[in-house]
Amino acid sequence: MSYFNNKIVWITGASSGIGRALAIEFSNQGAKCILSARAKDGLEQTNRLTENADQNVVMPLDVTNEQKVEYAVQRVIELGGVDILINNAGVSQRSTVEKTEMDVYRSLMEVNYFGVVKLTKTVLPHMIEKGQGSIVTISSIAGKVGPPYRAGYAASKHALHGFFDSMRAETSHKGIHTLVVCPGYINTPIAHNALAGDGQKYNKRDAENANGLEANDLAKRILKAIEKKKTEVYFGKFEVNAVRLKRFLPGVLTKMLNRKFLKDPEK
Ligand code: NDP
C-alpha cells in the first residue's frame, strides 16, 4: 500500500502547473487532497483530473490574505487536519533590475515568501500537537542561484531557505519533517503568469520552461522525496548543475549567466 494512502495533503497553487500535477499524483496514491488557489474554476478542473475527486476538497484561497489563511486553516482542522502541507503557490518574474518597479518586488515577496510563512506558521502548531507532519515548500533553483530577469523572484525563493532551515532546526525533534524542493525549468504556464517590470502579466511563452521537465515527472520525484524524508532536493535537467557550479566554480557560473543575459538582453 502507498505511503500516502489516506493521508490528507493540502496543496496551494493547485489550479495550475506543478500544483495540479501534484494533486493528480497524490490522488493516484490514495491521498485525500485539499486544493487551494485563487481560481475556483481552475481548482475544480484539477479535481476532475484526479482519481478520487469526491474525496478531495476544493478550498479557494489567496495566500496573501492573512485573515483568510487563518479561516482556511480552521476549516481544514475541522475537516480532520492535515498530514502534508505543500506550499506551492507562487509567481515568477521576467524583468531586469533596471526596469522593475518596487511594487513588483513587494508583490513577489507577498506571495512567494510571506504567503508561505503565514500558512506554515498557522498550520505548524496543529502538526506539533499531533507530533507529526510534513511541510513541503516549492522553492526553485533560483532559490540557490540568481538568474537574469528574476532578481525579485530569486530573492523571494532564497528567503524561503533561511526560514525553513531555521524552522527545521526548531521542530524536527517534534516530529515535523521540513522539505524544500528546488525545481529547474518545468513545463507549466509559469512564464505567462509571471510579472513584468511594470507589474503586468508577462504573458509570453518561455522556451526554457517549454523544454523543461514535465510537471507530472517532477510530481512523482517530489512524492518520493517526501516519503524518504529528504530535507532539500534539486530536480530538473542541465540547469540543476548551477547549484554545484556556484559552490565550486562561482566565477565560471557568473560568466555563463552573463553570457546568457547578453544573448537576449531585451527579452
Ligand atoms: P503556475 O503559474 O502554473 O502556477 C502557479 C500557481 O500558484 C497557480 O495555481 C496560481 O493559482 C497559484 N497562485 C498564485 N498566486 C496565488 C495567491 N496569491 N494565492 C494562492 N495561489 C496563488 O506555475 P508553476 O506550477 O510552474 O509554479 C508552482 C510553483 O513552482 C511556484 O512556487 C513556482 O515558483 C515554482 N517553480 C516553478 C518552476 C517552473 O519552471 N515552472 C521552477 C521552479 C519553481 P491562482 O492564479 O488560481 O491563484
Q: Does the pLDDT at position 243 exceed 80?
A: yes
Domains of the chain: 8-241 (3.40.50.720)
pLDDT tens for 22-37 read 999 999 999 999 999 9
Cell of 222: 517530489
What spacing in Å lies between the alpha carbon of 219 and ligand 1's midpoint? 14
Beta bridge partners of 11: 35, 86
Whole-number pLDDT of residue 264: 87
Supply the DSSP symbol for 97: G
Q: Does the pLDDT at position 184 exceed 80?
A: yes
> In three state form, how does the secondary structure of 202-255 look?
CCCCCHHHHCCEEHHHHHHHHHHHHHCCCCEEEECCHHHHHHHHHHHCHHHHHH
| Alpha-carbon torsion (119, 121, 127, 129), positive or negative | negative
Residue 152 CB less than 6 A away from ligand 1: no
What spacing in Å lies between the alpha carbon of 173 and ligand 1's midpoint? 31
Active site residue 105: no
Residue 210 CB less than 6 A away from ligand 1: no
| Nearest residue (CA) to ligand 1, atom 44 | 140
Return the ligand 1 atom nearest residue 236 CA.
Answer: 42
List, edge to edge, every strand of the sheet that includes 232-235.
Answer: 57-58, 32-36, 8-12, 84-87, 133-138, 176-183, 232-235
Whole-number pLDDT of residue 266: 77
Q: Does the pLDDT at position 267 exceed 80?
A: no
Distance CA 70, CA 9 (A): 17
pLDDT tens for 74-87 read 999 999 999 999 99
| Nearest residue (CA) to ligand 1, atom 17 | 62
User: Are 135 and 87 a contacting pair, CB within 8 Å?
Assistant: yes
